[in-house]
Amino acid sequence: MLDPTTERRAFARIEIDSTVEYFLENRDSPLPGMLDNMSASGFLLWTEQTILLGSKVFISIKPDKEEEAPIEITATVIRINGEKRGANLGYGCLIEGADEDA
């Protein structure tokens, strides 16, 4: 029997609490969101916006130092978290080029 406390991911997750701006395909204006956790293969995005499975999201993470360039990530929504945080839903996103099993 598998031990449910054993981490089975190829990449460790880090817990973060970061405000981000993101874009959806075919939408010109940025939307607000929060990143909850992140790994080398993906992240969990919380937002009030409804996003469909398979949608591409384009995330921009602004560093603390203004002179540093933002980190820009393209990902695909592969899971919708059924749990809500206030008005926000959570979306599991796979970073472009990453292995979904990671």
pLDDT digits (tens, 9 = 90+) for 51-99: 999 999 999 887 778 888 888 899 999 999 888 888 899 999 999 986 6
- One-letter amino acid identity for 56? K
Domain boundaries, the chain: 14-95
pLDDT exceeds cutoff 80 at 17:
no
pLDDT exceeds cutoff 80 at 102:
no
Q: Which of these CATH numbers, 2.30.42.10, 1.10.220.150, 2.40.10.220, 3.20.20.100, describes 14-95?
A: 2.40.10.220
Which residue do the tokens 């916006």 mark? 49
Which residues have a Cβ under 8 Å from the Cβ of 19 and sit 6 or more positions away? 32, 33, 34
**Can you give the pLDDT at residue 10?**
57
The DSSP secondary-structure symbol of 11 reads S
Going by C-alpha positions, the residue among 79, 75, 80, 77 that lies closest to residue 95 is: 75
Alpha carbons within 13 angstroms on the beta-carbon side of residue 60 total 12
